[in-house]
Structure 1
């Protein structure tokens, strides 16, 4: 079934809709309270039965909005009119939100509350997108489908390093406008791009409904902002590797129309030229791990190309690019194919098998042994002889929840701190610094039953991803004494005396680990007046 036309922005009507949604209490807390925890959690798993049981026969505004915009159910026109007293059904129809059939009303779009609580405080919005799989009853989605808030959206939200206010921001692959909402919290100007004209329409509606002014431009990736630079760039790229065959659908929300992992290569190599000095870009992506080239080697060639491209620009010769890639998942070809065949509605068995064959053949043709997924962070900064460009590839397969923004922020700060101490060139310079253990870093000890001495000492960063560093007795003692009062060299000497070791030998043994703790942000230099 073809999708309905996207909503249109009529300012006066959008204002009335916002007033109705606000007056009804149609926000995340209001929906959860109305459904109850069991039904709300089930609905988040795309299981509608508990919600339908709770809302059966109900016609209060929140119930009406959930039934209409989330479940895709027909609701009595009278109930819809009561839920939208300011907008009215004629206004909802004019905006392209509903379709009236006899005495009932059906939604043409998905309209969901979205909220976040983080270091910036609380924020609440509404996101308008195409009706989801629940409303489609499991049928395949149209290929021009525009997603709402999904798992990838929130993965990126959780990874974006906090920044200063007053920034010029860019949302690449904007979709329904989720990242633009978050960028607007710190950006005085937000530009959004998407290859899909339909997605641009939804992004305009979402941002207008939330009272925001966002410059939404159609076009591929960075093409619509040629010659422009930004302080912050985020991109929820259409990164799915899809076989280039006519019988395999290419959904615009997940496929850029490029072969293999070329969309990530293109984004990485081009984004540096669109960053202001001091600017930061972060985006999600997938990449191929091939029999003749590991994923690390593959991305390393892209990093070299990105730096060469920046150096060739008239405005880029004095700047460098820091690049940090965190691979969060690694899937074999079969697992990867199965995941994306099931995405967007389940096809019949014969069709699914044909797509499966196409995926495996496509990946095998390039020698792909696995497909990685993760977060790419790119920073542009002035060249500094004491601080070499950061090139870092981390492999984190564990299901580590959230707070990646803190991990990445701490790592970037740690790299800069080592540069400020000139410790990249000469690690021994770290010995003159006063260091303090970062908040949330704890020591844990593992004992064999009945043994008074620990079998293992662990330094654990409990604030973020649970980063764990196995430590010797000497390293744990040094870290434990880092309170910012004494230079690190003095602390190491004191520990060496306590342990009966030669200080110079202990320094030689511990310095690499201590440098790594600063690089990861578990230890931080303290400025002294």
Structure 2
């Protein structure tokens, strides 16, 4: 998070009094997540989510003050001063213009900032300040741009564990959305950022939502030196490529995947024993190198780590995606020049892909650490945060009971199914694939052979694993010792993925 020279020294300053009155206006109009959904209706909401605004615009015309706010902040329309005055009361139009919330045009007012309703599955109702995106600006974003709540932010929200903690650090808070969600399970929240503009908008977000969050300015972990936390959440500037800073929200000034590596290396030292850190990260796929080896080398000692790779992007697709994200047309002279520089760097460093995913870290407190890096590219519905929490629980259980698996009784959860793929042969249908499929959480799948399937069929909580292996070995005419040696690693992996649970 290297500092970028400011395009403008003007920072939005929203006083507590102004935020209280703005909150009053929003609540009166019903400008919150549920209110917007109700006003627009299902079809218009779905179309708006697809990037088709016309239905939402038409629905908003019958929604009074709420419709005015929807058109200003969500659709980027120009509204009359009369309608804006009604929608913002008791905040005056002059006040809104003075702080940059609105900007005056020749025929009315337009949004100067993005203020968007945001909620969660637990009934949280918030608003988030950010800068306008390229579509509403009509041009590429400036270097000090503060990003809104995008897919990456929401994916980290869903990948974060929500068990109660005393202290939580939101490193690189941006618009403050991670801290909003953290406020529901952390007693005290600290948020940092290198960008003065990001901190100003995050402060407005917290004031508007009446939350007490400590804000500190600085690069990386420097603002919280010598402090420790129970939990750390980080959405760092993880875009990989040449060492430059075009946009503070995504560029670190470090080459390649060094930004992600820096956070992974340093984060555990700022955790209390047993504390958990979670971040979005990117890593290079370099010709001749296994990505799992690459990310594992980043880890400090005494750190449990779970690297989950959600996607691998082709370098060309990756470059085009991030150019468009900043509002730059890859076909323009600027886009061509940036693409060439970026792709030359990938070629020079033998990069054949860019991995992206989630990292969960835990300070193990002197215990032998568990490090797992694995692919999770299939679609799933359940939030990964809950799975990360139980993954750490299962790691603890295996660490404490790994030597007594044979004496343990296990059961297969009801959410785990055995799928078979049969192929028609000369003697009828022949099973060629047996696949365990966990239908909840991230939908883990494991292929197993016939012996493993038979062994798991006996895992119903009654007999210890050792007895089941002996019975199966006797029935198949096999050595119990050899069957045990091959079964234990499989059992360990299934326990780690929640597909086999200990009963006692």
Q: TM-score normalized by structure 2?
A: 0.91
- Answering whether residue 120 of structure 2 is matched by residue 116 of structure 1, we say yes
Residue of structure 1 in register with 2:4 after alignment: none
Residue of structure 1 in register with 2:69 after alignment: 65
> d(CA) in 2 for partners of 1:47 and 1:7?
30
SS of corresponding position for 1:504: helix
Count, aligned residues: 495
Residue of structure 1 in register with 2:374 after alignment: 394
SS of corresponding position for 2:216: strand
CA contact (8 A) 2:172 2:193 kept: yes
> d(CA) in 2 for partners of 1:262 and 1:500?
54
> d(CA) in 2 for partners of 1:336 and 1:234?
25
Q: Is 368-377 or 400-409 further displaced after alignment?
A: 400-409
- Answering whether residue 85 of structure 2 is matched by residue 84 of structure 1, we say no
Residue of structure 2 in register with 1:407 after alignment: 387
**Structure 2 stretches lacking a partner, 5+ long:** 1-6
How far is the alpha carbon of 1:213 from its aligned partner? Answer: 0.6
How far is the alpha carbon of 1:276 from its aligned partner? Answer: 0.6
> d(CA) in 1 for partners of 2:203 and 2:109?
24
- Answering whether residue 246 of structure 2 is matched by residue 250 of structure 1, we say yes
Q: Is 103-112 or 468-477 further displaced after alignment?
A: 468-477
Counterpart of 2:305 (choices 312, 323, 326) is: 323
- Answering whether residue 27 of structure 2 is matched by residue 31 of structure 1, we say no
Residue of structure 2 in register with 1:442 after alignment: 417
SS of corresponding position for 1:346: coil
Alignment deviations for residues 65-100 of structure 1 (CA, whole Å, 9 cap, x no partner): 111112221111221222223333344345431134
Structural mapping, 1:104-503, within 5 Å: 104-117=108-121, 121-137=122-138, 139-163=139-163, 165-244=164-243, 250-291=246-287, 293-303=289-299, 306-307=300-301, 320-347=302-329, 349-384=332-367, 388-401=368-381, 403-421=383-401, 423=402, 426=403, 429-448=404-423, 454-499=431-476, 501-503=478-480
> d(CA) in 2 for partners of 1:27 and 1:494?
61
How far is the alpha carbon of 1:366 from its aligned partner? Answer: 2.2
Would the alpha carbon gap of residues 456 and 366 (structure 1) be closer, same or farther in structure 2, given more than 3 Å must change? Answer: closer
> d(CA) in 2 for partners of 1:190 and 1:99?
33
How far is the alpha carbon of 1:455 from its aligned partner? Answer: 4.1
CA contact (8 A) 2:143 2:247 kept: yes
> d(CA) in 2 for partners of 1:7 and 1:98?
11
Alignment deviations for residues 348-373 of structure 1 (CA, whole Å, 9 cap, x no partner): 52221111110011222222222211
Residue of structure 2 in register with 1:21 after alignment: 26
> d(CA) in 2 for partners of 1:400 and 1:329?
13
Would the alpha carbon gap of residues 263 and 30 (structure 1) be closer, same or farther in structure 2, given more than 3 Å must change? Answer: same
How far is the alpha carbon of 1:434 from its aligned partner? Answer: 2.1
Alignment deviations for residues 404-449 of structure 1 (CA, whole Å, 9 cap, x no partner): 224323332222111111x2xx4xx201112232352222233446
How far is the alpha carbon of 1:234 from its aligned partner? Answer: 0.7
SS of corresponding position for 2:124: strand
How far is the alpha carbon of 1:161 from its aligned partner? Answer: 2.2
How far is the alpha carbon of 1:391 from its aligned partner? Answer: 1.5
Q: Is 89-98 or 461-470 further displaced after alignment?
A: 89-98
Q: TM-score normalized by structure 1?
A: 0.87
> d(CA) in 1 for partners of 2:455 and 2:11?
61
How far is the alpha carbon of 1:301 from its aligned partner? Answer: 2.2
Alignment deviations for residues 4-59 of structure 1 (CA, whole Å, 9 cap, x no partner): 9443231122112112212222222221222233332232243333323433x546
Would the alpha carbon gap of residues 201 and 482 (structure 1) be closer, same or farther in structure 2, given more than 3 Å must change? Answer: same
CA contact (8 A) 1:146 1:198 kept: yes
Would the alpha carbon gap of residues 173 and 225 (structure 1) be closer, same or farther in structure 2, given more than 3 Å must change? Answer: same
Would the alpha carbon gap of residues 377 and 162 (structure 1) be closer, same or farther in structure 2, given more than 3 Å must change? Answer: same
Alignment deviations for residues 282-316 of structure 1 (CA, whole Å, 9 cap, x no partner): 1111122223644333223212xx22xxxxxxxxx
> d(CA) in 1 for partners of 2:483 and 2:229?
46
> d(CA) in 2 for partners of 1:512 and 1:294?
22
How far is the alpha carbon of 1:115 from its aligned partner? Answer: 1.4
> d(CA) in 2 for partners of 1:69 and 1:393?
41
Residue of structure 1 in register with 2:3 after alignment: none
> d(CA) in 1 for partners of 2:206 and 2:51?
25
